[in-house]
Amino acid sequence: MATKKSAIDTKFIRELAELLNDTELDEIEVEDGDTRIRVSKGGGAAPAQYVHAPVAAPAAPGAAPVTAASDAPAEAAAPSGPTITSPMVGTAYLSPAPGADVYVKVGDTIKKGQPVMIVEAMKNMNQIVATQDGVVAAISVEDGQPVEFGQTLIVLK
């Protein structure tokens, strides 16, 4: 067991912490197999957490295929190009408040660092910002849609 603990990639954890600061997020969680790393700005909480956890079975047999089926057509129909992906699991919102104008629309020119949407995770509203300059070719999620870590949110051209 001690050998697994020594395999912690501290450089990767530092990169996650830098990403947390650069994107103004409150928390980032990455899972690979049975290893999960969570970096959070939470007051008083440990800045990084390393956990070995068993992989849980899906809650319902029909839940996973429905999500996969709804994601596949959107990504297959989306134009190719640079993407902005979700840095966390949560719920995507295209506008800053209910009834407000959306952050971006297809065809809009965006600049690196510009807010493009919000992902709510654990009651925290996390602003998602453009990772590079470009023109919005496609928005791959709908308002209020659940998103996964690494899921494409916006395709640029």
Stated pTM of the model: 0.51
Q: What is the mean pLDDT of residues 99-122?
A: 92
Phi and psi at 24, nearest 5°, equal 60, 30
Supply 42's token pair: 């939470």
What are the strands of the beta sheet with 48-52, ordered from one edge?
27-32, 35-40, 48-52
Structure tokens at 120: 């709510």
Confidence of residue 118 (pLDDT cuts 50, 70, 90): very high
pLDDT tens figures, 31-43 = 777 777 777 776 5
* pLDDT for 80 beyond 70: yes
What pLDDT shows up at residue 27? 77
* Domains of the chain, each with CATH number or no CATH: 2-52 (no CATH), 80-156 (2.40.50.100)
Cβ–Cβ < 8 Å for 136, 156? yes
Residue 75 pLDDT > 50: no
